[in-house]
Amino acid sequence: METYLFDFDNTLANSGEASVESVQKVFTDASKPVPTREMIFSEMGLPIETSFPMWANLDANDVQLQKMYAEFRDYYSSIEAQNTHLFPGIKEALEGLKDTKHQLYVVSSKSSAPLARNLDKLGIGQYFTDLIGSDLVDNYKPAPEGIFKLIDKYQLNKQQAVMIGDAVFDLQMGKRAGVKTAAAGWGAYDLHAIKAERPNYLLEQPAQLLDI
């Protein structure tokens, strides 16, 4: 493969606890039924603009949702540093891929600003040529728009590209974009679900990225 497209949350970094705590606080404050940990993990990989209306049973244009989004992002940013850590072996794998002239990108359901901030704070921002956050697409995962934007911008060869992610939405996005897919088993909440998506590669450790 020439091009590696990475999800961020629970693929590059273990950040699930920050998401759970932030979601549950926001729903508590909004006097809405609080999503369980299992619910949150099962939908992780989708942007909050997709999951919140569903969990809160609100219309996507409801003004209350805008307040919930803002509170989520504010609270998440206040706790992300102590709750977001690279998976063991990720930095070494990225360094190895970069040293062998691979092109690396991130396609995430996070907004671009916190995504870039997280990458830099974790010391891996320098490995990536570009990133696509949820604010840069009209159609969220599992729609392939984020991948298509990178392919068009950098004239990437789809036949030599692979999407790496921990969630079914990442793998579905990759399939719809016509690129290879690799399941990040080290961060997956539901291995059975990602195996059912029949990814081209099922990885157990980040070091295996170097063998794709």
Give the Cα-Cα-Cα angle 177, 128, 77 (nearest 5 degrees): 95
Q: Locate the domains of the chain by residue range.
A: 3-14+85-211, 16-83
Q: Which fold has domain 16-83?
A: DNA polymerase; domain 1 (1.10.150)
Does pLDDT of 16 surpass 90? no
On average, the pLDDT of the chain sits at 96
Burial class (CB in 10 A: 0-12, 13-18, 19+), 63: exposed
pLDDT tens digits, one per residue of 89-134:
999 999 999 999 999 999 999 999 999 999 999 999 999 999 999 9
Q: What does residue 101 show for φ and ψ, rounded to 5 degrees?
A: 70, 25
Show Cβ contacts of residue 38 under 8 Å, excluding neighbours closer than 6 positions. none
**Global pTM?**
0.91
Q: What does the pLDDT read at residue 45?
A: 83
Helices (H), 15-87: 16-29, 37-43, 48-56, 63-83
Percentage above 70 pLDDT, the chain? 100
Q: What does the pLDDT read at residue 173?
A: 98
Model confidence at 42, pLDDT cuts 50, 70, 90, reads confident
Residue 180, amino acid: K
Model confidence at 44, pLDDT cuts 50, 70, 90, reads confident
Q: Answer whether the bond into residue 142 is a cis peptide, omega within 30°.
A: yes
Question: Which residue, chain included where needed, has tokens 């604010």?
Answer: 135
> Could you confirm whether domain 3-14+85-211 is CATH 3.40.50.1000?
yes
Q: What is the DSSP string of 129-168?
A: SEEE-GGG-SS-TTSSHHHHHHHHHHT--GGGEEEEESSH
Model confidence at 151, pLDDT cuts 50, 70, 90, reads very high
Percentage above 90 pLDDT, the chain? 94
pLDDT tens digits, one per residue of 158-198:
999 999 999 999 999 999 999 999 999 999 989 999 999 99
